[in-house]
Every structure is written in structure tokens, then in C-alpha cells.
Amino acid sequence: MCGIIGYVGPKRATPILLEGLKRLEYRGYDSAGVAVGLPGSLTVVKKTGKIAALRSVTPKELPGNWGIGHTRWATHGGVNDVNAHPHLDSSGKIAVVHNGIIENYRTLRGMLEHDGVVFKSDTDSEVIPNLIARYFEGDLEAAVKAALNHLEGTYGIAVVHADRPGEIVGARNGSPLVIGIGEGEMLLASDVTAMIAHTKQVVYLNDGEVVFIDAEGYRTTDRDDQPVRKQVDEVTWELNHIEKGDYPCYMEKEIFEQPESIARALSGRIERDIATAKLGGLNLDRRHLREVNRVRIIAAGTSWHAGLVGASLLESVARIPAQAELASELRYRNPVVEKDSLWFAVSQSGETADTLYAMREIKRKGGTVLGICNVVGSTIARESDGGVYVHSGPEIAVASTKAFTSQLAAFYLFTLFEARMRDLSQEEGKRFVEALESVPAAVAKVLAGRDEIQRIGKKYSKARDFLFLGRGLMYPIALEGALKLKEISYIHAEGYASGEIKHGPIALVSEEVPSVFIVPNDGLREKNISNMREIKARGGPIIAVGVEGDEEVASIADDFIATPRMDPRFYPFTMVVPLQLLAYFCALDLGRDVDQPRNLAKSVTVE
Ligand code: F6R
């Protein structure tokens, strides 16, 4: 949430800051700004709206070769130019960009106002430059450290001072910050995507660390000024992975990448001869993994839906009791952390505050937590005891698609591994492996049906409400379908277990409310068909996502989306894809901003 970028080096800073902000825009996009330094003064430009709006008001030839920038997702204070970052201290010499929430800002603001500071914005962030100003006696790093002692809450910050040309100070507590090491230039950002065009050498900061950078290099310390040695990591992906290519938007690109991204998640992780999975990053010995008596999964949003599928699979295939819970709820419940439970924190970004804080609480109670993350080097990936990277590649569209199916792949691999240590025979294991390896091609086949799904999307895009219904493994898929539709099209949608509709939601059914039924040919097909007939009898239109050749389901439905016949345990992969496309085409038809839907941001680093 909120994107931060800083640059110092021989080049003009402004184009680099604007380009970096453009790449960070998915983290928040209600306003943006830059502060660029010339010795003795800072030029600050801020604008409500997206980076294009900021670009249009930023002078083309703005001089200055060091500066900071920010793209905002508002927490405190409305969306307007004044509340946009960077914020200045009252002398106008110090500029700060901030990601996070300063919880004690009212107290600090009162104290500073008492000393004569006049605040311009309604944000919590504006206290930071004014606190730094209070301690500044020529050494910016020392002043930042002194100010940090007063802050309660979360922050990733970057700070510049007009009288300290070519210097940027950054600090992290709860909001990500990464240093980029260039040739004679240095960068600082909340995420590597912002600097990949300039360098692949990066250093991830941990909570409590402070960094000083100038064009020559960097030094990292803790808040007590003790040096901290850091490891330099190499980013392994290329710039073209974060570009749209020939696609009109990232979401479409990411949906269509799924055959390759799922294959990547599986790649090198299957031992065919003994029909099991090989997950090198778990960092746990076999005995520990054999003695796990319960799996508990924490996550948010789409990642939680992947966790629900994972839990169901672990229970039915590996016969391990498993539950998936919302991290935001679990954290405040004082959870019991049993000795023989294994926990998973699932997060595409690896930065989601709710999941991260829940994970820390479980670890504090002695629990073992594995991460299932996409972003390499993210906080959850680094703080977990081990885990699985899903390798879907950068996911830029705010609505998660390819990361979801890759998270599923990680759960299928882990389930296979556990099941083969328990009761799954080699023969059954082989069937599981064959079915898993067939998933990328099956997903490609579903994607080939895009035109038909586009037609259906257009037909129903004017509906005000939708129901998504499924049973068993398809219940989380129904939840995911409803979430995708509402977040990008703004059509109200509810996901329900099909068996629950008669307990209330059926009251919503009318000619105006389409129901999307997810009906694989599994043991629950007949039950689903009965539920479809109940809806039909009440005049509700039905879109069914079913299996090719299922004439009965097709004949009850008004519209039928056929997917390939699979081993029933693997339908979550193939049946979620038409729902992603349905949401996408409805949103497109309504003219929505599919990649950056209103009020949302990609990486939710506030609670
Ligand atoms: C929905 C979506 C969100 C995220 C949620 C968790 O499309 O993207 O619901 O799934 O914010 O994010 P991560 O997986 O980064 O922890």
C-alpha cells in the first residue's frame, strides 16, 4: 500500500522517479508526488489522481539529481493535493514520503503545534518531517533516528533535506523498503519493480533498520546506530515480466499466463519415479513433517480462498485435519498454537499486514510457520520458517489471478508430499501426479474458450447482483468468483456453498439476479443439479461452469461454459479460470479500470 521511490546519482531524478512511481502505481493510486532537490531548495509537485496526472503538471526539465516520490492509498485524510505526499516540515527544507500509519500522530501533532508548527494536511505523515526538523543539526541520518524514537505504528519512509544534497535516508518498521545498488547511482523503493530498469542488485531492509544512501553507496544501521551487515540479492526476473506486451491490460495478460505460471510452480518439484513432491524450501526434516497432526492456514482475500482449497485437499487426500482462517480474525483471537500443528501463511505479495502480524503472533507462541509467497524476498517469505515460492512472476493487476492458481499448485504439491508419507499408495500417487501435470494444458483449453465467456459477460454485465454457488472444493472457487466480479466490476456478488442457498440467499433469486453454478462431475454433481432446479423454478437465470459433454447441466442452464473433464480433485484449477474471465469481461463491458479498481491497492500493508 503506497509506493515509495528515491533516487540519487548523476542523472536527472524526475524522470526516474516518475517512471518508478508508474511501476508502483498498483500499490495505491489516489494521488502522487515528488520532491526533487537542488542544493538549498526542494521542488515539490503533488497531484490528486494517477501518475499520469502528476506527470502532466511536473515541469519537463525539472533539474536536480536526487529526490523522492510517492503514490498514495489514503488512510488518514481525504484524497486531495494537500494530503498527497511528499510532506514538508514547516521550513520547507525537509521532505518525507511515508507508507504505513503513525498511530500516535495526534499526540505528536499536538506537541508540535504547541511548539508553533502549523500543519497543512490532515495526514498522520506530516508529523514526521516536523519531528525530524526538531532534531536536525546538520546530520540528516541522526535527526531521522532521533525522530523515529517518537513514532508508534508502521512506516517505510524516505527523507531528503535541501541542505544535504545527494543524501537520502530511509527507515523501515512494518512497511517494506528495498535498496537498489546501481553504477554510480542508488535507489530506494518499497518494491523492486520500481528499480528493475536500473539495477538488479538489491538489499532488503528489515524492521528497525535505517539506511543512508548517496550516489557512492549505502550504509545500514539499527535505530541505535549500530551497523547492520546486509546481504545483496540479485533479482532474477526481467523488465519485460512487468510490461503488458500486446495485452490491453495486466489482468488479461496474467489470466492468459496461467498455463506457464502453473507449470513453473510445479517445475522441478515432482519426483515421478516415487510419485511424490520435492519441496526444498520447507526447511523441516521428514520426521517433523510426518508428525504434523493438523495444518492451519492463514491468509487474506484470494490467498485465503487458495488456503480453503488447500485445507480441503489436505484433509481428503493426505488425511490431515486442516483449516484455513482469515489472518485478520485469527490474530485477535488469542489462538491456541498446538505443538503438532504446522502453519502456513499464504500471501502473493508477502507483505499483507494482517497475515504478517498473525504469523508473528503464531511464531511468538512457538508455532512453525511456512510461507507460500510469490514475491521473492518479501517480509513473510523472509520471516517464515521456510516455505514455497510459487514463482508466478510479478503480478501487477490488483485482482489476483495467476498467483491464485500457483498457490493452489503449492498446496497440491504439499498435499502429495504429505499423503505419500502417510496412506497414499505409489499407484494412487502416480495418478495424482499425472493429473497435476495435466493442469497447464487443461487451463490452456479453458482459455481458448474466451470468446464465448466474453459473450456471456456482455449478456450479464448490467445485472446488479450475482450469486456464485459451489460445493466441496468448488465452494472456495465460488467465493473467489464472487470476489473477482465485485472487485473489478463493482457488481454486487455473493459466494455461497450451494447447500446453503435454501437457508436464506434463495430469497434474492429473481429474473434480475444471475446465479453462477460451478458443477464438476464429482460426487456432488446431483446435489448441485437439484440446487440449480430450485433456482430455475424461481425464474433465476443460470450460468453453469461445467464439464464438456454434460448435457443435463447444459440443458438446465441458460448459459453453459464447458471445461475439460479432469480428475475431480483438480477442478479448482480449471473452473476458476472461466470465473476470472467472466469478471474481466463484465468489467470491461462496463468500462471499468480493470487493473486498478477503485478504492483498492495491490499490497495491503496496513491493518
Ligand atoms: C483479490 C486480491 C486480494 C488479495 C489480498 C491478500 O483479487 O488480490 O483479496 O488476495 O489482499 O493479498 P496477498 O496475497 O498479497 O497477501
The pLDDT score that the predictor gives to residue 116 is 95
Which of 480, 604, 605 has most ligand 1 atoms within 8 Å of CB, for mutation? 604
Q: Please report the pLDDT score of residue 35 as a whole number.
A: 98
For 556, the domain range is 448-593
Give me ligand 1 centre to Cα 354, in Å. 11
Clarify whether residues 219 and 286 are in a common domain. Answer: no
If one counts every other C-beta atom within 10 angstroms of the C-beta of residue 530, the result is: 11
Nearest residue by C-alpha to atom 16 in ligand 1: 347
pLDDT score recorded for residue 605: 78
Quick one: which H or E segment has residue 204?
strand 201-204
Cβ neighbors of 69 (< 8 A, separation 6 or more) are 4, 5, 6, 17, 18, 20, 21, 32, 33, 34, 35, 86, 97
Other CB atoms within 10 A of residue 52 CB: 12
pLDDT in tens, 97-120: 999 999 999 999 999 999 999 999
Q: How confident is the model at residue 74 (pLDDT cuts 50, 70, 90)?
A: confident
Residues 337 and 277 in one domain: yes
In the block, cell 508529523 appears at: 127
CA–CA dist 254, 445 (Å, integer):
16
pLDDT, averaged across the chain:
96
Q: Is residue 598 part of a domain?
A: no
Q: Which helix (H) or strand (E) holds 388?
A: strand 386-389
pLDDT at 607 over 90: no
Residue 26: predicted pLDDT: 84
Q: Which residues pair with 145 in a beta bridge?
A: none
* pLDDT attached to residue 602: 81
pLDDT in tens, 10-55: 999 999 999 999 999 888 889 999 999 998 999 999 999 999 999 9
What pLDDT was estimated at residue 564?
Answer: 98
Residue 165 and residue 116 in contact, taking contact as beta carbons nearer than 8 Å: no
442 lies in some domain:
no
The average pLDDT across 4-11 equals: 98
Q: Separation of 546 CA from ligand 1 center, angstroms?
A: 26
- Shared domain check, 126 and 265: no
How many C-beta neighbours within 10 Å does residue 185 have?
23
pLDDT at 75: 86
Query: Mean pLDDT throughout 429-453?
Result: 98
Same domain, yes or no: 255 and 228: no
pLDDT at 246: 92
Q: Is residue 375 part of a domain?
A: yes
Helix (H, G, I), strand (E, B) or coil at 249: coil
pLDDT at 60: 82
Q: What was the pLDDT predicted at 327?
A: 97
What's the pLDDT score for residue 236? 86
124 occurs within a structural domain: yes
Q: Do 39 and 163 lie in a common domain? A: yes
Residue to probe by mutation, ligand 1, list 191, 304, 326, 349, most atoms within 8 Å of CB: 349
Residue at which a domain ends, from 207, 235, 263: 235
Query: Which pLDDT belongs to residue 241?
Result: 83
Q: Is residue 379 part of a domain?
A: yes
Whole-prediction pTM:
0.90
Q: Which three cell numbers stand for residue 528?
A: 448441485
- Which is catalytic among the residues 22, 47, 93, 602? 602
221 with 163, same domain: the answer is yes
138 and 17 fall within a common domain = yes
What are the residue ranges of helices labelled H in 280-339? 286-290, 301-317, 327-330
Number of domains in the chain: 3
- pLDDT score, position 481: 98
- Determine contact, residues 29/73, Cβ cutoff 8 Å: yes
Name residue 96's beta-bridge partners: 87, 159
pLDDT at 512 over 90: yes
Residue 203 grid coordinates: 538489499
Find the residues whose C-beta lies inside 6 A of ligand 1.
300-303, 347-349, 352, 355, 399-400, 483, 487, 604
Contacts for 576-579 with beta carbons within 8 Å, 24 or more apart? 576/404, 576/405, 576/477, 576/480, 576/481, 577/255, 577/258, 577/405, 577/443, 577/446, 577/447, 578/446, 578/449, 578/453, 578/545, 579/468, 579/477, 579/480, 579/481, 579/484, 579/485, 579/516, 579/518, 579/545
Residues 302 and 223 in one domain: no
2 catalytically annotated: yes
Question: How far separated are the first and last CA of the chain, in Å rounded?
Answer: 11
Q: Is the pLDDT of residue 603 over 80?
A: no
pLDDT band per the 50, 70, 90 thresholds, residue 504: very high
Please state, for a pLDDT cut of 90, what percent of the chain lies above it.
92
| Sheet strands side by side (includes 492-497) | 492-497, 465-470, 515-518, 542-547, 559-563
Count how many Cα atoms sit within 13 Å of the Cα of residue 343 in the half-sphere of its side chain: 29
pLDDT in tens, 300-349: 999 999 999 999 999 999 999 999 999 999 999 999 999 999 999 999 99
Q: pLDDT category, 61, cuts 50, 70, 90?
A: confident
Among 437, 460, 479, residue at a domain's last position: 437
Q: Does residue 210 form part of some domain? A: yes
Q: Which atom of ligand 1 is nearest to the CA of 304?
A: 10
Residue 131: CATH number of its domain: 3.60.20.10
Q: Is residue 67 situated within a structural domain?
A: yes
Query: Is residue 184 situated within a structural domain?
Result: yes
Do 312 and 366 fall into the same domain?
yes
> What is the Cα–Cα distance from 202 to 350, expressed in whole angstroms?
17
The phi-psi region of residue 2 (left if phi > 0; otherwise alpha if psi is between -120 and 50; otherwise beta) is left
98 shares a domain with 38 = yes
Please give the distance, rounded to the nearest whole angstrom, from the Cα atom of residue 156 to the centre of ligand 1: 20
The Cα 568–Cα 582 span in angstroms is 22
Q: What pLDDT does 467 receive?
A: 98
CA of 568 to the centre of ligand 1 (A): 26
Tens of pLDDT, residue by residue over 232-274, are: 999 988 888 888 889 999 999 999 999 999 999 999 999 999 9
The arithmetic mean of pLDDT across residues 505-522, rounded, is: 96
The predicted-structure confidence for 347-392, as pLDDT tens digits, reads as follows 999 999 999 999 999 999 999 999 999 999 899 999 999 999 999 9
What is the rounded distance in angstroms from the CA atom of residue 471 to the CA atom of residue 467? 13
**Same domain membership, residue 398 and residue 519:** no
Q: At 348, which CATH number?
A: 3.40.50.10490
Boundary residue ending a domain (379, 411, 437): 437
Same domain, 432 and 468: no
Q: Is the peptide bond before 86 cis (omega within 30 degrees of 0)?
A: yes
